[in-house]
A and B are shown apart, each in its own frame.
Chain A
Amino acid sequence: MTAYILRRILYLVPTFFGATFLAFLIIQLAPGDYLTQLELDPKVTPETIARLRSQFGLDRPIHEQYLLWMHNLLHLNLGYSFAYQAPVLDIVWPRVVNSMVIVVPSTLFLFLVAIPVGIYGALRQYSLGDRVISFLAYIGLAIPNFFLALIFMYLILQVYFRTGVMVFPVSGMTSSGFEQFDPWKKILDIAWHAVIPIIVVTTSDIAGFSRVMRGQMLEVLSQDYIRTARAKGLAERVVVYKHALRNAVIPFVANIGGILPGLISGAGLVEVVMAWPGITPLLLDSLQQQDLYMVAGFLTIGLVLLMVGNLLSDLLLTWVDPRIRYE
């Protein structure tokens, strides 16, 4: 087992360098660099640009920039953001925490809701409840996240104009005067703002997840060993939860590693639409400004988490499924 883990980690090394270099290369391939926009400013002299460029190391060839960046990275220094004039981690971390306010609860809801719903759908196949859930799942799958957010905003604002009651805030993470709130009220305020984004993000994920869960469960329930278990007189509860469920969740355990990078990579376009100060708007801006180390640094964190997550899920698999063994 130890040998297996070590070998896996060894295999991760080329992937790590490959992916970081690919990310680095893609950002660098875009025409111009961070200072190109500054060049258009008549107040900035070419000498200043040249000085800044050599200070940022942007005048060096790509491989030298990559080596320097990687050197810093191996010393746990993610680099320096051009646009914010601050270390990348200092800028990224608060934004990631903001995003987590949405992502962590929605991931929890995902598992708490989708798995029971999937099991129910499989056990009562083609019942009224199953049909309703399936239909809702189709809707959830088909509706783009940003569009769902827009619809929620529209409905809430309509209610607001009719009755003057703001059911949930539709934009941002905090109310005005947030700074003066006491800590308890601050938490409540953020939670109140997070309700709609969490619902929007969770909807589409639950839809897909519960359908896959239902399919898995149906597949396992049609296996011979389930018939055997029923034939030998086991309680239905034991058959379903001990024999079927444990086998049905195996594919999910194989993918559980994806959650780890998912936790930091934000809620996507919902953050843009609802003006949530999460990681997505920041990164989109950084990409547009070609803030090289910001983007590369963030992608690297995600990459490392993905690799660790994949390794963990492979190890978890051996625990859930004793048939899988690594020599």
Chain B
Amino acid sequence: MRASAAKTPQSQSLTQVALRQFRKHPLAVWGLRILLVLYTFALFAGFFTPYDPNYYELYPPKGHHPPTRIHFVDPETGKLSRPFVYATKRSIDPVSLQPRYEEDPSQGKFYLRFFVRTPDQPYTILRVFRSDLRLFGVDPPGRIFLMGTDNFGRDLYSRLVYGGQVSLTIGILSALVSFVLGLVLGGIAGYFSGRPFALSLPLRAWRGRGWLLGPLSWAIWGGLALGALYLAWTYYSLTGLGVLQLLAAGVALWFAFFLLKTLPFRPLLLDPDNLIMRLVEIIAAIPTLFLLISLRAVFPTNIDPLFTFYLVVGLLGFIGWGGLARVVRGIVLSVREMDYVQAARALGASDARIIARHVLPATASYIIVSLSLTIPGFILGESGLSFLGLGVTEPYTSWGLLLQAAQQGGFASFVDRPWVLWPGFFIFVSIMAWNFVGDGLRDAFDPRRRR
């Protein structure tokens, strides 16, 4: 494997090697292309959709309209013609009481037109550029619903493209949140493992700044001890005397005694590694779905939709950082002992410099790979949460929320109207594409998997 690298005359940077390897991975390249298309659609959602995602007609209503059939053959002449659609006529099925739509050729043909302007339905790109140019559309009263409509009669295709904005960005944003948390906490845990922080100042260190920090630290610890004693007392007064109560009192007293014995003479040491890893353990101990939902329940459901969006991002990110922190800690722990880090320390480099210049770069390739492999998980998490109605709310929409329509109203909702399943395929495709890219990146950065 080293020999192949030696064959090339010029030395290449890790990024160059990885890029070249990535291009050799056909699935990964395809994944990247699919993602490019999906994200382009999401970015220029207004341009690629024929209608505003929240637009619907009051009369005649178009609820549960099936996908519009596009005709390529003129029925009168039997020859190929420009693609066109017919307007539809609505009637109510006497048995199921569901709306039925039939093509109505009497209103004439509505030709599919490209680059149409819809002044009554303007849109913005990134809320900055205003426009009303759309890739395709038909003249009213003809309608084109590529994937049918929802119960209000809103165009499902337009909603799907707009939903992609939320679903696709939530994945990336949550991954970033969990990465910042995981990287910082995992990095601290790994780098300072075995080098505990002093969390109190003994009497002899009460000099200069110590005059302020010393009593403060004592007060905090004293408060904790008093709190423990108070809890033990409450426990006793609530339930009476027993073995458990004595045990609780014993623990609290031992804690107080330990503080009394230690505080004046020695600093209290706490290994951040222990603390952070315990925290990771605690979070990991609660099943993800339930933790997610109970955390979501902390906030009321009728809050500002935009805030809900950020809330979902934050929650998903908060759930996901534990595993990453664990791995980062492992990497940092091993890098810390490497000769080059020891050399840097011997040369007098500060902790900050060592972390920024030597430790973090060592985790870079792992982070890129694992970032791309965790994003699909977050897309999945968001879709599940929205599917339960706990994720993003109207007027925003996401693929999970759109798929919820398949669950409402019994089997008829997706047996009679299979087009409501479309959002699921987009979740599937985007997750698959991200997985391809992630696998490609992993192989590209892994010297043992070079081809």
Find the A residue at minimum CB distance from B251.
Answer: A13
B311 within 8 A of A: no
Smallest Cβ distance from B154 to chain A, in angstroms? 21
Q: Are A284 and B424 in contact (CB under 8 A)?
A: no
Complex partner residue of A146 from B283, B293, B295, B387, CB under 8 angstroms: B387
List the B side residues contacting A19 at CB < 8 Å: 281-282, 285-286
Which chain B residues (388-432) contact chain A, with CB distance < 8 Å?
388, 403, 406-407, 411, 414-415, 418, 421, 424, 427-429, 431-432
A295 touches B282 (CB 8 A): no
* Partner pick for A141 among B238, B418, B435, CB 8 A cutoff: B435
Q: Which of B260-293 contact A (CB under 8 A)?
A: 278, 281-283, 285-287, 289-291, 293
Q: Complex Cα distance A16/B44, Å?
A: 49
CA distance A142 to B35 in the complex (A): 14
Which chain A positions have C-beta within 8 A of B289?
A: 268-269, 280
* Contact, CB under 8 Å: A151 / B238: no
Per-residue interface assignment for chain A, residues 283 to 314, with 1 indicating a CB less than 8 Å from any chain B CB and 0 otherwise = 11001101000010001001100110000000
B287–A261 contact, CB under 8 A? yes
Residue of A nearest to B242 (CB): A71
Quick check: B231 and A67 within 8 Å, CB to CB?
yes
Pairwise interchain contact A142-B285, C-beta atoms closer than 8 A: no
User: B234 at interface (Cβ–Cβ under 8 A)?
Assistant: yes
B403 touches A147 (CB 8 A): yes
A147 touches B282 (CB 8 A): no
B8 beta carbon closer than 8 Å to chain A: no
Interface size class of chain B, counting residues whose CB lies under 8 Å from the partner chain: 35 or more
Q: For the complex, give the distance between the alpha carbons of A15 and B383 in Å.
A: 31
Residue interface mask A15-40, B partner, CB < 8 A = 1: 10011001100110111000000000
CA distance A295 to B293 in the complex (A): 11
| A170 contacts B411, C-beta separation under 8 Å | yes
Main secondary structure of the interface of A (DSSP, over half): helix
Docked-complex contact A15 and B278, CB < 8 angstroms: yes
Chain A residues contacting B235 (CB-CB under 8 Å) are 67, 71
Q: How far is the CA of A63 from the CA of B234 in the complex (A)?
A: 9
Please state if B424 and A153 are interface contacts (CB–CB under 8 Å).
no
Cβ of A68 and Cβ of B238 under 8 Å apart?
A: yes
State whether the Cβ of A59 lies closer than 8 Å to any Cβ in chain B: no
Does any Cβ of A come within 8 Å of B298's Cβ?
yes
Task: Given A265-B290, A269-B387, output 13 extra A-B contacts at Cβ < 8 Å.
Answer: A27-B297, A30-B294, A68-B238, A71-B238, A139-B428, A141-B376, A142-B431, A147-B403, A147-B424, A153-B414, A265-B287, A284-B388, A302-B286
**Using a CB–CB distance below 8 Å, which chain A residues touch chain B?**
14-15, 18-19, 22-23, 26-27, 29-31, 63-64, 67-68, 71, 74, 138-139, 141-144, 146-147, 150-151, 153-154, 157-158, 161, 170-171, 219, 222, 261, 265, 268-269, 272-273, 280, 283-284, 287-288, 290, 295, 299, 302-303, 306-307
